[in-house]
């Protein structure tokens, strides 16, 4: 385990070195090395997995398949535990903290366990179900054999490979610089962005969807997926960086869920351990950005849904028609909130709209209104071309 003070010193040194190197003509930089590392499959035990394998630039840096969890390890046969999030707009995220009212906020990954982009890169490089490098030594050995190893030495020191922990931290820093500085990770060029800039008007259906998205008595989406400009004037990222427990159904497609005693409870474990005693937080996961949500192949932390319409229907029908979403127990009753231990089901959000309704009541959004909200959500896809009226999240945004 790295000493926190040592990690801080290493990061300070890396940050200090990067600007000087960036000023040298054609010299490699931390960010350019991050680009190399991000796309390099040779850095995995299988030789077939890179960061870009699960975070595909052509799909808004999210997965390009319909698997609820991805497969990694030496034979690309070891399943993960959570659905892959998009890496878009993560540069605007903030470290984890508790707000004055006690609300957990910020942090990287679905449980906020990583404090920054550097820490976020750590687990995928080493985890047995991902790139499977096991430890810093294994990772450093693979990186030393790459075609850009000399460039890595030029940026991080001629003797860097003598210190595997430094190699790993330097690679994580390089990945963070790539995500922080490359416009492809935060282009702000969706149809909605052009609307904010008053360069075009949304269609009537998109405007209706936007209104429903914001209305507290209808979708109430904006209560967590903030739709107004940020305090510094930047366009909205459509998350308030808080956490929520939505009672998403258990997903049998995740192999770990075959064990009835296994529960992924987000903030309180099993992967994040510092809040294990906070049982009131069990089942809460980070509110994701909705930018590029229409390009997603799976939805929610466990990938329980595979299309946007079903995800929205769950939001508004979870409580009005629970039998549609949850299995029956041994006595034939609907087993609501089946992906959290029964004694912790009280943590599920049942007070805010649209989760505050009862069986048999009309859902907060009708089928037509759901279609309107989807039309609006499609305006959040990057790479919009007003001439063709299409969006391409893989469009080159390099200045």
The predicted pLDDT at position 59 comes to 97
Residues 316-345: what's their mean pLDDT?
A: 96
Q: Retrieve residue 366's tokens.
A: 């009708």
Q: Tell me: pLDDT of 381 over 60.
A: yes
Q: Retrieve residue 20's tokens.
A: 């000087």
Residues 272-298: what's their mean pLDDT?
A: 97
The predicted pLDDT at position 2 comes to 52
Q: How confident is the model at residue 1 (pLDDT cuts 50, 70, 90)?
A: very low
Residues 338-348: what's their mean pLDDT?
A: 97
Task: Let me know if 345 is exposed, middle or buried by CB neighbors in 10 A (0-12, 13-18, 19+).
Answer: middle
Q: Contacts for 341-344 with beta carbons within 8 Å, 24 or more apart?
A: 341/263, 341/282, 344/265, 344/279, 344/282, 344/283
**240-264 tens-digit pLDDT:** 999 999 999 999 999 999 999 999 9
Q: How confident is the model at residue 21 (pLDDT cuts 50, 70, 90)?
A: very low
The predicted pLDDT at position 317 comes to 98
**192-220 tens-digit pLDDT:** 999 999 999 999 999 999 999 999 999 99
Q: How confident is the model at residue 24 (pLDDT cuts 50, 70, 90)?
A: very low
Strand partners, 62: 56
Max CA-CA distance within the chain? Answer: 72
Q: Tell me: pLDDT of 41 over 80.
A: yes
Q: Do domains 4-185 and 191-391 have the same CATH topology?
A: yes
Q: Is the dihedral of CA 269, 5, 23, 144 positive or negative?
A: negative
Per-residue three-class SS string for 96-148? CEECCCCCEECCECCCCCECCHHHHCHHHHHCCCCCCCCCHHHHHHHHHCCCC
Residues 284-312: what's their mean pLDDT?
A: 98
Strand partners, 385: 390
Enter the CATH code of domain 4-185. 1.10.760.10
The predicted pLDDT at position 263 comes to 98
Q: Tell me: pLDDT of 368 over 60.
A: yes
289, 237 Cβ separation under 8 angstroms: yes
In Å, how far are 21, 137, 283 from 324, measured between CA atoms?
58, 50, 21
Residues 282-290: what's their mean pLDDT?
A: 98
CATH superfamily, with its number, for domain 191-391: Cytochrome c-like domain (1.10.760.10)
Contacts of 97 (CB under 8 A, 6+ apart): 104, 105, 106
Q: How confident is the model at residue 17 (pLDDT cuts 50, 70, 90)?
A: low
Q: Tell me: pLDDT of 15 over 80.
A: no
The average confidence (pLDDT) of the chain is 94
Q: How is the chain split into domains, by residue range? A: 4-185, 191-391
**85-116 tens-digit pLDDT:** 999 999 999 999 999 999 999 999 999 999 99
**Cα(198)–Cα(184) distance, integer angstroms:** 23
The predicted pLDDT at position 375 comes to 98
Residues 149-167: what's their mean pLDDT?
A: 98
Cis peptide before 270 (omega within 30 of 0): yes
**Cα(60)–Cα(311) distance, integer angstroms:** 19
In the numeric block, the tokens 């466990």 are attached to 302
Supply the DSSP symbol for 398. Answer: -
Cis peptide before 354 (omega within 30 of 0): yes
Residues 295-302: what's their mean pLDDT?
A: 98
**Cα(265)–Cα(275) distance, integer angstroms:** 11
Helices (H) and strands (E) in the chain, counts: 12, 8
The predicted pLDDT at position 396 comes to 76
CA torsion, ordered 318, 84, 4, 266, to nearest 10 deg = 20
């Amino acid at each position: 385990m790295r000493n926190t003070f040592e990690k801080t010193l290493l990061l300070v040194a890396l940050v200090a070195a990067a600007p000087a190197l960036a000023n040298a003509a054609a010299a490699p930089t931390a960010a350019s090395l991050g680009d190399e590392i991000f796309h390099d499959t040779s850095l995995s035990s299988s030789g077939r997995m890179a960061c870009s394998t699960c975070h595909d630039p052509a799909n808004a840096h999210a997965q390009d398949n319909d698997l609820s969890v991805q497969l990694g390890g030496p034979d690309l046969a070891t399943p993960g535990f959570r659905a892959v999030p998009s890496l878009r707009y993560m540069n605007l995220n903030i470290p984890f903290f508790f707000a004055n009212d006690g609300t957990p906020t910020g942090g990287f990954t679905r449980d906020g366990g990583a404090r920054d982009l550097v820490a976020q890169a750590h687990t995928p490089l080493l985890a047995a179900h991902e790139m499977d490098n096991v430890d810093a030594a294994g990772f450093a050995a693979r990186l030393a054999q790459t075609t850009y190893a000399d460039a890595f030495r030029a940026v991080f020191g001629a003797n860097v490979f003598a210190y595997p922990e430094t190699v790993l931290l330097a690679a994580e820093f390089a990945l963070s610089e790539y995500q922080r500085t490359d416009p492809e990770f935060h282009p702000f060029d969706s149809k909605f962005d052009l609307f904010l800039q008053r360069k075009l008007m949304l269609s009537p259906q998109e405007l209706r969807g936007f209104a429903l998205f914001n209305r507290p008595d209808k979708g109430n989406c904006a209560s967590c997926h903030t739709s107004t400009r940020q305090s510094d004037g930047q366009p909205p990222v459509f998350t308030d960086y808080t956490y929520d427990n939505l009672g998403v159904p258990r997903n049998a497609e995740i192999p770990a869920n075959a064990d009835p005693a296994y529960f992924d409870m987000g903030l309180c474990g099993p992967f994040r351990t510092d809040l294990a005693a906070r049982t009131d937080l069990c089942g809460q996961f980070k509110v994701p950005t909705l930018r590029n949500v229409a390009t997603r192949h799976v939805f929610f932390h466990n990938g329980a849904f595979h299309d946007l319409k079903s995800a929205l229907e769950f939001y508004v029908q979870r409580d009005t028609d629970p039998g549609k979403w949850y299995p029956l127990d041994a006595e034939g009753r609907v087993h609501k909130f089946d992906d959290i231990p029964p004694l912790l089901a009280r943590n599920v959000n049942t007070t805010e709209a649209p989760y505050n309704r009862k069986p048999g009541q009309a859902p907060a959004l009708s089928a037509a209104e759901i279609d309107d909200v989807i039309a609006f959500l499609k305006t959040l896809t990057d790479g919009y071309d007003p001439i063709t009226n299409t969006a391409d999240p893989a469009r080159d945004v390099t200045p």
